[in-house]
Amino acid sequence: MYSPLAWVMNTGFFLFGLAALTGVLLLRGLPGRRYRPAVAMAARLATGAVVLAFFPGSGEAGDGATDYHALGALMGFIGGNVLAILIGRMHRLLGFPRRLGTALVGAGIVGLGSLVTYMAVVESGAGGLIGLVERGIVYPFLIGFIVVGAALRKRPLAAG
């Protein structure tokens, strides 16, 4: 399972992790009780993405070895979806519409639900479904973050 272009995807994982963390760190106007959990989940997402970048693989470690790829993926899956829920719940403080906040919370819930399905598929041995279910975990928060980024970019800047 090696592609000569694997470096492109691994570079993408690395840069995405850093971009997600940087984006959350740049959020302003949030009280600490809201900001700290968001930063913690962004750090979990970023760490997972960086681990994925440095330990590419199929998620199948043999001989009892630690599967860092799978650990990184799990960190990213949980961090990204919980972060989507947290950011969605902060829609008013961040200045984007409630409808978008609700959609982002829904995306995080869909992603976490897909994670439960993913674990069931892994346990069942039905490996052919892994890629499909994995996308159900990742795509909702990725798309949500893109839409929120666009909404934050369009909002008026505070005077001063």
Domain map (residue ranges) of the chain? 6-154
pLDDT digits (tens, 9 = 90+) for 47-62: 999 999 999 876 565 6
Structure tokens at 87: 């950011």
Distance CA 74, CA 68 (A): 10
pLDDT digits (tens, 9 = 90+) for 3-49: 888 899 999 999 999 999 999 999 887 888 999 999 999 999 999 99
Q: How many CB atoms lie within 10 A of CB 101?
A: 21
> What does 21-62 look like in DSSP terms, one character per residue?
HHHHHT--S--HHHHHHHHHHHHHHHHHHHHHHHS-S-S---
Rounded (10°) CA dihedral 81, 87, 48, 112: -10
pLDDT at 30: 86
Average pLDDT of the residues in 97-103:
96
Average pLDDT of the residues in 62-82:
88
